């Protein structure tokens, strides 16, 4: 079993959670999302995010609108949908539960 596979899979699920929670705060465009994720070391390569965003959008969890930019191409601003909010709150619960469980299990030695 490869560590890369496991971590990538973990990351993948958590990434979606992170993206949704980021966007739920305020509307963001891709680069802002990227910057935050990269700061938090959630991303290794940027390419990963695009299929994720598209998937979340296609699942009606996210929506976007275009905004002109003063320095470059127009920006795609993402905002969360009501479904997205619902999904996010579910994820939050699961995450907290998981976090706790993991905390307990990994510290109990």
- Contact region with another protein (CB under 8 A), list: 20-28, 69-77, 84-92, 96-104: 69-77
Residue number with CB closer to another protein (29 or 95): 29
* Listed residue (5, 77, 7) closest to 42, CA to CA: 7
- Give the span between the Cα atoms of 64 and 76, in whole angstroms: 6
Contact 77, 13 (CB under 8 A): no
User: CB 23 → another protein: shortest distance, Å?
Assistant: 15
Give the residues lining the site for another protein (CB under 8 A).
5, 8-9, 12, 30-31, 34, 44-48, 50-55, 57-58, 71-74, 76
């Amino acid at each position: 079993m490869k560590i890369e596979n496991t971590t990538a899979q973990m990351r993948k699920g958590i990434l979606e959670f992170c993206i949704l929670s980021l966007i739920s705060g305020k509307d963001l465009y891709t680069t802002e999302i990227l910057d935050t994720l990269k700061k938090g070391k959630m991303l290794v390569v940027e390419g990963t995010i695009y299929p994720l965003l598209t998937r979340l959008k296609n699942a009606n969890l996210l929506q976007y609108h275009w905004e002109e930019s003063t320095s470059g191409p127009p920006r795609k601003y993402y905002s969360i949908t009501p479904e997205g909010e619902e999904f996010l709150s579910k994820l939050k619960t699961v995450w907290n539960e998981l976090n706790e469980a993991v905390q307990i299990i990994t510290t109990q030695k």
